[in-house]
Structure 1
Amino acid sequence: MSAVSERLARRGLTGDVLRLPRRRPDGGVELVEHAVSEPVDWEVPAGPARSRTAFAAAHVVPRAGAENVPGAPADLDWDATLAFRHRLWSLGLGVAEAMDTAQRGMGLDFAATTELVRRSATEAAAVGGRIAAGVGTDQLGPGPHTLDEVRAAYEEQLALVEDTGAQPILMASRHLAAAASGPEDYLALCSGLLAQVRRPAVLHWLGEVFDPALAGYWGSRPGDVAAATDTFVDLVRANAEHVDGVKVSLLDAEHEKDLRRRLPPGVRLYTGDDFNYPELVQGDGEHHSDALLGIFAGIAPAAAAALVRLDAGDVAGFRSALDPTVPLARHVFGAPTPYYKAGIAFLNFLDGRQPGYAMVGGLHSARSAVHQAETFRLADEAGVLSDPALAARRLRDYLAVHGLEV
């Protein structure tokens, strides 16, 4: 048994027992007893991991009492939002800023995005934290838009991100998906952007499971992942000197393993597979994935401790820390997957890292109370709640508001 396994096995119980609501096969709800565990004393790294590069895609915290309703401009609690980023840096993780986890395209408007990138980059520089930030086209209206307009939007955001000192992540764009007529449009536009970067960028391929508007990305027929992959690999190979890595979010482990074998030397594959990350980050002895994951924002202590073990060559300890978090990740990122952000925010509410369970754009309503009760249970079993007793109290209050007494 690894040291991590022993630490998990030694956990006691707080003495608190909740009756958690669970969905029955017939659609009804039943109450199931859950004994709340003591917290895990996770190993804290002295700095960033050496064997892997790891980013957590961070969420944002709305200001309590603000009108963060659907369609309203995002009004953020900057202290809580930035404190969460400092926690990630303190655990040796990089911050992937202004990504879909931060509700890009789902509540976070461009003005708030701009301020978020600037503030986070300033904080990163102050503590020597690693930061990369999303470059997209979401300052454009719904459209339609020409390819020239899409290119100009990307260039505006690229300049913004690079001026802050953050590493750029070229995000998939709904506007590009709508404007492009085939693979050649993607190749021309993205190659032009990569030629402008001041430091190697990350290319992000976000699958339609996360955003249905991105179906057929890279100019192939929707569902033709093989053809899309060929175009993507051609783009990377033609611009390898400007590409630090690619971030792939298709939730397909075998596809990712094949893709990373096809990448040019020196180009990383940052896994975005929130279902299969332990095996992908571990690797197969010849190739491995680095990490740029939304779930790492919800399981940060376990992720950081796992990377300490991997640096030490303790693969069993690495897996002992991460494997118990997979059921939680699969639940949080379950269908409809775009609403996983509600699970990340809920975990941080339970952990006391935001004053209430709320999200910009009113998105906290995207998951049911029964779903979030299961989020609590799985998080407690994985040992990722810093204060399970506090989390249990917060869960009780949350469920009571929803008419569920536990």
Structure 2
Amino acid sequence: MATTIRLPMAGGELYDYALSGAAPFGKPSAPLASRIAFSAAHVVCDPLADADPLHRSRIDWDATLAYRRHLWSYGLAVAEAMDTAQRGMGLPPEGARELIERSLSEARAVGGRIACGAGTDHLAPGPAVTLEAVERAYEEQCAHVERHGGQIILMASRALAAAARGPDDYERVYGRILRQVSQPVILHWLGDMFDPALAGYWGHKDLDAAMEVCLRVIRANAGKVDGIKISLLDAEKEVRMRRLLPEGVKMYTGDDFNYPELIKGDAQGFSHALLGIFDAIAPAASAAIAALDAGDSAGFDALLAKTVPLSRHIFQAPTYAYKTGVVFMAYLNGHQRHFRMLGGAEGARSTVHLAELFALADQAGLLADPELACERMRHVLALSGIR
């Protein structure tokens, strides 16, 4: 008999949900080859730390690094200290620096691929912040990543968004930083749905005009750009930009709504991946890319199609609250012993939202141990008075 659990729906009504009983995904038998697949990785907080959880949360380093080993075991690369790790939304700059150092050491120990976010989050935006200050902040963080042997993901800067007066300022700052890096970086264009402070990035609110500025930066520094990740949740714009990139510069999709079609690509090219949702769907993502490696495009489609409703649910507005769903998935699957987050962000989604996430994860075959997941879902429901 199928396992059942009583879940709430919008309006407060309860219903009995029967789990699908889908078999768990296996590990890949060979390295993933046809696409580069980065998973932006979350951090696990220490719920027993005697510290203010809103302002001084601490990281459980053992559980955090174990999760990175989980991602590597499925053949994925790790994108470290990104917004999925609550960078700038619970993870302070000093925590990001330590996270980068520890994860780079762990990657060397297990042979895992990794790239690390470098930004300006230790520089608070304000009217007194100059472009020179933004450049120094970027230089400091880029030097830290390179000093510890990491590839840089050059993150969007809130301080630059506040200080820049137009496209020329973006071209100046990015040009200066790219001329100094020792190896090609991955640029990261994060849309304002993920961080409202980045509205008007590249000097334009119009995305097409912003794209032209970004492309000018890339073309002027193509030898220092491995690729660009764009997180705009607009497949058409990503494809358009992908076709305009200089030869050798990769597109890494950051579109957590439309990733299957973008990764699969078309006759004119495809996107690699650098996705927050891959943290939550790592086994399915790995299996799908392995299918693509084997020439099984239908298998790729079928595997990822089941994950899209889950991803769209996790990344629904307000999009920046998606980290709650990512961490909840890790909790349901036994990768951490609690559902607590830096800055108390576990409260960013409703109980009804989490209940639907549970059902969608089951339908995607992403509950590795359904009995454990049900037990943990019941604990969360009990906190809302549902027994």
Q: Which residue of 1 aligns with 2:308?
A: 326
1:241 corresponds to 2:228 = no
Between 311-320 and 41-50, the greater mean CA deviation after superposition: 41-50
Q: Which residue of 1 aligns with 2:3?
A: 16
Using the TM superposition, give the Cα deviation of residue 195 of structure 1 relative to its aligned residue in structure 2, in angstroms. 0.8
Between 278-287 and 30-39, the greater mean CA deviation after superposition: 30-39
1:380 corresponds to 2:362 = yes
- The answer for unaligned runs of 5 or more in structure 2 is none
Work out the CA distance in 1 between the residues paired with 2:347 and 2:91: 16
Asked whether the 8 Å contact 1:251–1:275 carries over to 2, the reply is yes
1:130 corresponds to 2:113 = yes
Q: Secondary structure at the match of 1:29?
A: coil
1:141 corresponds to 2:141 = no
Q: Residue 52 of structure 1 is aligned with which of 9, 28, 35?
A: 35
Work out the CA distance in 1 between the residues paired with 2:338 and 2:330: 9
Using the TM superposition, give the Cα deviation of residue 37 of structure 1 relative to its aligned residue in structure 2, in angstroms. 2.7
Asked whether the 8 Å contact 2:32–2:289 carries over to 1, the reply is yes
1:179 corresponds to 2:163 = yes
Work out the CA distance in 2 between the residues paired with 1:168 and 1:142: 22
Q: Which residue of 2 aligns with 1:300?
A: 282
Q: Which residue of 2 aligns with 1:153?
A: 137
Work out the CA distance in 1 between the residues paired with 2:80 and 2:142: 13
Q: Residue 212 of structure 1 is aligned with which of 183, 191, 196?
A: 196
Give per-residue Cα distances to partners, 1:191-219, cap 9 Å, x unaligned: 11111111110000000111111110001
- The answer for unaligned runs of 5 or more in structure 1 is 1-13
Work out the CA distance in 1 between the residues paired with 2:385 and 2:282: 31
Asked whether the 8 Å contact 2:125–2:158 carries over to 1, the reply is no
Q: Which residue of 1 aligns with 2:323?
A: 341
**What amino acid does structure 2 have at the position aligned with 1:100?**
D
Work out the CA distance in 2 between the residues paired with 1:128 and 1:316: 31
Using the TM superposition, give the Cα deviation of residue 47 of structure 1 relative to its aligned residue in structure 2, in angstroms. 4.2
Work out the CA distance in 2 between the residues paired with 1:321 and 1:100: 26
Asked whether the 8 Å contact 2:104–2:150 carries over to 1, the reply is yes
Q: Which residue of 2 aligns with 1:11?
A: none
After superposition, the CA RMSD in angstroms is 1.2
Give per-residue Cα distances to partners, 1:108-137, cap 9 Å, x unaligned: 001111110000000001111100010111
Asked whether the 8 Å contact 2:186–2:225 carries over to 1, the reply is yes
Q: Secondary structure at the match of 2:366?
A: coil
Work out the CA distance in 1 between the residues paired with 2:31 and 2:169: 38
Distance 1:66 1:142, change over 3 A: farther
Asked whether the 8 Å contact 2:125–2:163 carries over to 1, the reply is no
Q: Secondary structure at the match of 2:101?
A: helix
Q: What TM-score, normalized to structure 2?
A: 0.98
**What amino acid does structure 1 have at the position aligned with 2:351?**
A
Asked whether the 8 Å contact 1:271–1:281 carries over to 2, the reply is yes
Work out the CA distance in 2 between the residues paired with 1:159 and 1:226: 32
Q: Residue 284 of structure 1 is aligned with which of 255, 260, 266?
A: 266
Q: Secondary structure at the match of 1:85?
A: helix
* Number of aligned residue pairs: 386
**What amino acid does structure 2 have at the position aligned with 1:17?**
T
Asked whether the 8 Å contact 1:68–1:360 carries over to 2, the reply is no
Give per-residue Cα distances to partners, 1:366-388, cap 9 Å, x unaligned: 00111101111100000011111
Q: Residue 90 of structure 1 is aligned with which of 57, 64, 73?
A: 73
Using the TM superposition, give the Cα deviation of residue 15 of structure 1 relative to its aligned residue in structure 2, in angstroms. 2.5
**What amino acid does structure 1 have at the position aligned with 2:89?**
M
Asked whether the 8 Å contact 2:24–2:366 carries over to 1, the reply is no
Asked whether the 8 Å contact 1:96–1:292 carries over to 2, the reply is yes
Using the TM superposition, give the Cα deviation of residue 39 of structure 1 relative to its aligned residue in structure 2, in angstroms. 4.3
Q: Which residue of 1 aligns with 2:239?
A: 257
